[in-house]
Amino acid sequence: MVEDATKLLGEALRESSDLAQKELALFRAEMSENMRTLAMGLVMVIVAAVFVILALIWLTQALVYWLATVVGSQALAALIVGGVLAVIALGLGLYGRGAMAKTPLAPTRTAQSLQRDKEVLTESISKGPERA
């Protein structure tokens, strides 16, 4: 009977080890696939950003040409368009700086959760084991 229990325990340990190894292999494969997908998505976003920048350059140039026909001077049209774009960039930059200043980098929710966990554990240790 002791031999049967030993065999069962050994088999359970081997199967647990095999299961853990298979789960780890599955985790690695899944993470690798996710990272490849994430990298491909990031590359596509970067390429899209390049095309957006090129499109904005061409549209800005077209706006300068059109405004030059309205005001009669290409230099004045370029100054007007450049000034408007500078004001827009300044506004977006100030908005972004304000948004970043409001966001703390420290993980405050995690710190609060850890503090609560510490308090619960301290309280349960100080009370000692309670019997039902």
Mean pLDDT of 97-123: 83
Domain-embedded: residue 34: yes
Q: How many alpha carbons fall within 13 Å on the CB side of residue 6?
A: 3
Domain-embedded: residue 113: no
* Domain that residue 17 falls in: 2-104
Domain-embedded: residue 74: yes
The DSSP-derived string for 24-62 is HHHHHHHHHHHHHHHHHHHHHHHHHHHHHHHHHHHHHHH
Looking at mean pLDDT, say which of 16-30, 48-62, 105-119 comes out highest. Answer: 48-62
Say what the pLDDT of residue 128 is.
Answer: 60
Percentage of the chain with pLDDT > 90? 48
Number of domains in the chain: 1
pTM value surpassing 0.85: no
Mean pLDDT of 44-72: 97
Domain-embedded: residue 110: no
Domain-embedded: residue 39: yes
Domain-embedded: residue 129: no
Torsion of CA 13, 19, 24, 28, to 10 degrees: 160
The DSSP-derived string for 78-131 is HHHHHHHHHHHHHHHHHHHHHHHHHS-SS-HHHHHHHHHHHHHHHHHHHH----
Decide which of 107 and 116 is more confident. Answer: 116
